[in-house]
Structure 1
Amino acid sequence: MPGTRKQVGATGVQTVTISFAGFNRAWAAWIGDRLERRGVTVVQQRWDPPVEVPLEESLRDLTLARGRVLVILSDWYFQLGPRSHEEWNRALREVVAPEPDRFVAVSVTTSALPGATSVFGAADLTNVGADEAERRLLARLGLPVDPLPETTAARPGPRFPSDTPEVWGGVPRRNTRFTGREELLSSAYRALQDAGSGAGVVTLHGMSGVGKTQLAAEYVYRFGSEYDVVWWVPADRRALYRQKLAELAPELGLSTGAEYGERLRAVRDSLRRGDPHSHWLLVLDGADEPEQIWDLVPTGPGHVLITSRNPEWGEHNSNLVEVPVYSRDESVAFIRRRAPRLTQSESDLLADALEDLPLLLDQTAGWLNDSDMSVDEYIELLEGGIDQDVVKVSADFPLAFQTAWSILLNKLKDTVPQSVDLLRLCTFFAPGSIPVRLLKEMPSGELPEQLSGLMNDPLLWNKAIGQLRQYSVVRLESHESIIDEPSSGESLYLHRMVHQIVSKDMPERDRQEFIEVVRRALAAADPGRPTDTRLWPAYAEITPHLKWADVLLSTDPAVHTLVLNCLRYMYLSGEYRAGIKLGERAMRAWRELLGENHPRVWDLSYHYANLLRAVGDYAATEAIERAAVNHLRAERGEHDLEHLRASGGLAADLRGLGRYDEALEISGWILAAYQELLGEQDSRTLNAQNNLAISLRLLGRYEESLELNRRTLESRRQLLRPRHNWTLYSEINYATDLRLLGRYNEAESLQAQSARVHRLVMGTDNPQTLRAEHNLALCHYRSGDRTKARALFTRVLERCERVLGEGDPLTMMFAASQSCFAREHADIDQAREISEKVVSGYVDMLGEAHPYVAGTRANHALVLRNVGEREHAHVLIEGALADMTQAVGENHPWTLGCAINTSALRNLVGDPESAAALTETTVTRATEVLGRTHPLTLSARIAHAADLRGVRDRQRAEKIESEALGDLVTTLGAQHVHTVSARSRNRPYWDFEPPII
């Protein structure tokens, strides 16, 4: 360095202005931080010279800055404009060379740069570590390179840009032609940085084709060095989103098993706690339906970036950044970089014709650059060649899109025709992420001649994909690390605009052949065991594509099996709404295709009824199952396995409708038939045994239900995996019976362990997991641990409302419990509001005569009692007692519970004699049905003692109370909440719990 050059920092604090292209913001941030630690004042100035201003003038503007100008040299710096290397060489010689004291530089690229950049004497920061890069930077600026004081050096700062995040997955390759969008990137960055912990969510929203995904990818590359974890997740479908998020678990080093639910829970917990990494960035791409996934957006110290066409994300605690089409300057700059042969005026004309839509500009300019067609000729085609009858596109598509695509397709056909075949195959998958590897993995023997070469020749396959990528028709997707190349064509991303236009522009002959290929590929990918939770990620990947492959019109038995297995998966995984839609469409299609009484139609009706039953439509399912039972019995006989399966469904419908005696009768002979046909240990026999136990429980025969569930649980543990979802279901049933019999400690111990395993294996939001946690909350409550019960009741209800909706049977069951708890230990206003909704919901779903309506009205009467509406409460409870007696009989535990509450209200309205008479008969019946020391019988005995005091029969009251207290101590313990409450002469009450059917 010449001796006359004044060293920065040699005399006091100096200033350095860093000139950088927006692509290199991470380098600018790191360099600025290194210099500021040394006492240098740093000014950041993004380099983006207007194309209409001479390059020399823009460079001279840099000399107006204070201090020296540090230029970060990269490909990006010289591509802005765009300018030729000749222009750059001329400008550098004229402006930079004469002022060597003002300009210094560092180089962060190994690419060839304009020759005159040698005037900078740039320090090379490539292929070195952070310490050496800092030493070279300081030496180039003439600053001391001595180590900093330990406190200054230890201060956290930006990550060294060459150090990629420790965890990186799914991010698309960087678009080297990315243009503009600086304000949007800055807005998103500021919004995330300014958000508090747990609130760092930004949504990039805008119309299709506007470049939201490209903008998110550029954000990742621009700012990714500030994170320890960067994970990109397709979020257009809930099931796929959960699967891809679960794949983060091993990357975070989390100790989990292979189960999908366990991994998902571990990932969400790790991100929430910020352990092992607090600086994480999660990108949710294509999240167009916030209602589907908003409850799964992680919270914690990291950041979430969402791309979506839907601005409703603003209602879910997300900052919104709207992504418009390009400004005209951005369009022109982009086109000129994409198609260097076009002039500025030609680029302007093209941008105007294509309405500045980035996706269309990218595809069109790409092939125009390789074509000898002039822009004027192309625009003439656009304006005059649209056949409105050929293609209809959505309102948010530019009118020119269909014609632009017909031109591009012709170009593809002329060069690599197989690329068009591959593209057309892709349209029989759902738009977005397309698992084309399924095509390559399918057996090759039955491929049409037109496709056999493409599918069997790896070179031709790669050539077709390369051609589509060249014109930005598709992009490769990979969850490999940033360095590794993915295997070619594992998964492709196809924009929905492209998907629609290609689908419409397809010869009918190709449509018929190609759709069969995709159907067979999906059928070949069917794992075959939808009950195995470990295979759910595979089903989550397959199910979104069924609609697009029109699988319901296939006559292939393998495709039929695929549909039935997917319906079973949707039922078990809790994807009820999607399953019902598929089942409804399948019923219509298969009846027409196969005939009303085809065996596949009866198979289908079984799975469809399961899904409808899960959402409480018992009247519809009874009609479906009864038709199946009648037909199969007439055609095949009573002991046919399909008839028995349909009969089991009918028994479940009858349970849902409150017709428990009928359900018990059917359940009993089904079990006997299975035992005779298949033996005691077949899984179908165990299912029937499980269902018989449910019928017994609904009739209040808890001891018998417990014994059956104990045997079923033991057998399932031996026959199936201990973590199989049916084994876990038996654990819920057995723990429920223990709790209903007053064996609270045993129930709580079993259910706590089972709930943990449910969360690991099936995921936190699976309906069965929610049932397990709800039963655990009830166990905590009955054991007297109100703090744990309160938290779990609230969490389970909130999750169920998000996942299944307020009107779902499971949600209403949980809401009933929450209302009862809130009535006694929380907010009476909340209890009343929830209780009114529950009663109304059950009336709408089940009708006035159902026992659930009577039971929840009995609960509501207690709420009214607590707010002082005694007369209203009394009328309501008397009606509930009469309705419950009519529905299930006078000796059912639910009726006895209603009677305990009714006697309390009779006392409050001044009728102590009838109250005492009622509890006396209730004690007698409860002792006969449940035994002397059952919790319900003990409650009736304590209540009867109170009623006797009310009619001044103190001697009998004392005797009955003393005996009941002794039994409470023996049964539950002296310090149990029920015992303590009875000793304090708090009158007991009974809560109705709507059970699982």
Structure 2
Amino acid sequence: MNPAGTDTTHDAGKTVDFFVSYAGVDQAWAEWIADTLERAGRRVLLEAWDFVPGSNWPALVQAGLTTAGRLLAVLTPAYLASVGAAAQWQAIWAADMGGRGRRLIPVQVEPCEPDTLGLLGSLTWIDLTDLTDLAGPGAAAAARARLLDGIRAAVTGQVRSVNPTPLPTRDTRDVPAAADESERAARYPGRPPLVWGLPPELVRNPRFVGRASELAELRARLTGFDRAVPGPGSPVPGVRAQVVHGLGGVGKTELVVEFAYRYSHAYDLVWWIRGDKMTEVVAGLAALAAQLGLAHVEGDEAAAAAAAEALRAGRPHRRWLLVVDNAVIGNAVIGNAVMGNNAGATATNPYLSRLLQAAETAEFGHLVITSRNPDWAGRATATEVAVLPRRDTIDLLRRHRAALEDAEAERLAAAVGDLPLAAEQAGAWLAASGMTVSDYLAALRVETRELLTRGKPDRYPFIVAAAWNLALDEIGPDEPAVVELLQLAGFFGPEPIPLDLFPALVVLGESNGELGESNGEGTLWSALSAACSSPLRWGDVVARLRALGLGKVEQGTITLHRLVQAVLRDRVPTSRHLEFRATVGWLMIRALPTAIQGNPAAWPRWAALLPHLQAQIEAEPSPADANAAGMLGLGNLAALYLQETGQLAAAVDLHTWVLARTEQVVGTDHPNTLVLRNNLALALQKAGRISEAIGLYERILARASRILESDDPNLGISRNNLASAYWAAGRIAEAVELLEQVVDDAGRIRGPDHPDTLLARSNLANAYQTAGRLAEAIRLHEEVLVDVVRVLGQEHLTTFLVRNNLASSYQASGRTTEALDLYEQVLTGREGVLGDNHPDTLLSRSNLADAYQALGRLPEAIDLYERVLSDARGVLGADHPHILITWNNLACAVAAAGRLAEAIDLYERVLADQRRVLGPDHRDTLTSQGNLANAYRAAGRTNADAADGADPADGADAADGAGD
């Protein structure tokens, strides 16, 4: 319900008379029906009017269905196919199954096949189908009378008599009549536009998919509240000038064509103008002037001005939609200077300005502009059109080749980056050529430019590559920095590229070509590095890139579509690709921090740049590349970053790739190769692939023993790592034996006070504890703590680690109060040195919660676990193994507190996550599995009940603290 100039929302406590249910494509009909009823004094609930910011639409619908006297179903084939609409009318049907209350009233506005009506076919409906597509006001009046007569009959229970009783209403004093009521009323959708000006080639696209929300939102932004029932003052205006912007090929024009057809019945005039050049705008407006009968105006420019004025004044048509397609330079509208080859044609365009003014002042006129440029300086609301959701891309592809398998369709949609024009082109070519999807994808990788010239869809004026080449050709010869930035960005990944990477090119420029030869016009990247040296010039380059519409510039990043990047790379000679990739690698080497482990501050930068590093890896750099060693080093660091953040499967894959390439470059026995093998084995161990890790560690130790000197520290590292894997596999005796050798060797080679020796002794004490030799473990931990405080000090990170390990031994031996005191000391120290949200600090907090639980201080334990989870998810991510362990420990505490049902729910969720992230055989997964089985038994559930979740024999009885 929407009186002019008044609050349009419905009070929760008030009922409505009618809920209008409709499919999105029938919004114009729904608005006309609702407007007609409200002018008759009824209260109406309509999604297009009442779904406003801050409203809970599902709750509003539920309230409307509960409290509305009746539901009006706008009956069309689209309505019958709508799942959401079916849920609405079926709710009313169930409440009035016999139809005695006549609460469900279909209003048919399009013919429907009888066999599609279902239950609705048993009802009597109001039929307006014979009054649609009729010209003149008589059809609207007849439809209005038939609608109101039908509603009156449903409400009163009798057909209208010769002298009908007026439709009962509530007090309508707040809905006064107006002299121009017929003009302000919603336009009758059964009447087509009086003037239709879409070009003949822009017929409605039978393969148009998706975009329902974009179409509805564009309609809502244009109309605002101008559909209001007349009242005091003027209608509340919508924003009647809308710019739809986005990448070439993303479907801006197709979206607006569909909009024009879908909502055509809401307008008396629909007109389309090409906006590439001022002359086209003038010609389009002059043609409109002729259509409007402005024959007295001489000359195209005068006629164009007269047409713009006629639109502003609403004479002879108040309700109009005018589309300006592909307005090249948005800034030209307000007279700003622009760069580029088309600047002369569009630097000043008073006719676009007049159209914007007409849209601002016209009461019911709407202007839609499509453009690559998002910058319209407040003169119109600009909205970006994004690529299609994946499901819609697959739908579009299958409209060309229906037999596409799911996996094929997914791969093809990903390859075209969900770009509608590229998907249309790919689908058309596959249908025409019979090429397999695998062959198409292979060709797309190696013959991008050639393939993107194939399969031009019939209704498109150009192919996808040509759309971008047109934009690239706009770049003037005096803009080499823009060209260089685009070319270089083409060699990154398709994810957002941080713009703060590029100023480092200033250093490269000063080095006089560190990475490559001169390009014949100066040092490689000379124009771009010069632009980067000046914030003002750099800003100009970024602004120009944004105006071209070839990428998205936002929040300090630039994002290019993967196919745009392919076209950009294809414009660069193959012989120079190595230079470009070397520059990208050089920029990342400079930008990425090398201190990753235990350093969350470095992780956001890695998260941002990792996709671009992976793009370089996928390009298979040659070992002969001068930058290859640096890229392999980055690859190793990237794999360590993935380990740190719990992305273990990806870490294993990347470690494997880096190791294989490094062996090609430096050989199998190089010390760097041994380090990389250790890193891979550690990733395998963390991923729960213990037997593979042990096998690799054993091979590493055998090779290291053969090629390294007996006093080489790396030999001790290899033994320590193998011992860790033995311990994880439960081979405790072998782990102890190896660690004792590591301690002896470290003391002999590096001395008893070397940090590596101290750490080795602490690891041996941990192994003693696991082996059940608690007294020896405690004694050794106490000795190590004294030594580490003496050598490294109270606030050293190793001191915190050893103190934490001693606390764990105290807790295992039942000395929980002493353990609690040590845990609190460690937590205080780590908070002071590392900060509240460092992973080690979070781990200390979790260990302290374990101690609280052991002491029976369950409320404190539960509260602390929950705090750890809240803080750690933002640092480590929801799927990090430490997070999953903490969820398990929280479940243990909740179970101990007697909240068994809640604990079972937690166990089930964490077990599902651990199976997904770590695999079914990981130690942590088996621990949670055993805990869930125990909880099932405690709840009296049988083994059959528990079978889907766990086998009690497979896991431990309880989860230990994560420890250090």
Give the TM-score of the pair, scaled to structure 2. Answer: 0.47
